[in-house]
């Protein structure tokens, strides 16, 4: 069972890398996006996302557009650099501008539940249904998590959640 859990965590973390790459590209942080895409490729061996829980969500430029743009300099060297990063190194870089002073203890038990559901790729409506709460309440929990942890996106929440589950959030 431990091996299955480890494989599942690795699968999710790789998908978090791709989500962060797409968000960074959408935010015009293309060098960082290229490095994250390179890290994702190194971990998966390709840029295929079949079966990805966030498939169909538009996080930023589509993958083909990103890949085509990043084949040319200066981005090709950033993709190559990203391929040398471990998952943890890539996540650390992606979250480098995120304050690390907050710990999971700053979140309520319910907010930690919401963070776990976000890490699974669930939308606010799905979170509300899973926790039997109103959708605006789910939205408020997400906003509280972002505020308390000093994060800016759901992908960062997912990355934070996975890191905290693996004991690498500093707490």
> Is pLDDT at 108 greater than 80 in this prediction?
yes
CA-nearest of 151, 56, 59 to 111 is: 151
pLDDT (0 to 100) of residue 20: 78
CA distance 28 to 38: 17
CATH of 104-165, one of 1.10.10.10, 3.30.360.10, 3.40.50.2300, 3.30.420.480: 1.10.10.10
Tell me the pLDDT tens digit for each residue of 65-78. 766 777 777 777 88
> Is pLDDT at 125 greater than 80 in this prediction?
yes
Question: How far is Cα of residue 9 from the mean position of the Cα atoms in its chain?
Answer: 12
Tell me the pLDDT tens digit for each residue of 54-66. 444 444 456 667 6
3-class secondary structure, 45: coil
* pTM of the shown model: 0.47
Each domain of the chain, given as residue ranges in start order, spans 2-94, 104-165
Q: Could you tell me which residue, 5 or 167, shows the higher pLDDT?
A: 167
Place of tokens 């934070």: 160
């Amino acid at each position: 069972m431990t091996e299955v859990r480890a494989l599942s965590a690795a699968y999710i973390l790789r998908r978090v890398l791709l989500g962060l790459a797409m968000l960074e590209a959408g935010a015009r942080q293309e060098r960082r996006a290229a490095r994250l895409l390179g890290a994702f490729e190194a971990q998966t061996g390709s840029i295929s996302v079949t079966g990805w829980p966030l498939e169909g969500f538009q996080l930023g430029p589509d993958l083909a557009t990103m890949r085509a743009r990043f084949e040319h300099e200066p981005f090709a060297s950033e993709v190559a650099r990203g391929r040398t990063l471990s998952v943890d190194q890539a996540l650390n870089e992606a979250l480098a501008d995120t304050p690390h002073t907050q710990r999971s203890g700053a979140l309520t038990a319910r907010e930690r539940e919401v963070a776990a559901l976000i890490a699974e790729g669930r939308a606010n409506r799905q979170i509300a249904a899973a926790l039997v709460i109103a959708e605006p309440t789910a939205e408020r929990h997400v906003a509280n998590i972002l505020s308390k942890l000093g994060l800016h996106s759901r992908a960062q929440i997912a990355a934070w959640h996975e890191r905290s589950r693996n004991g690498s959030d500093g707490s």
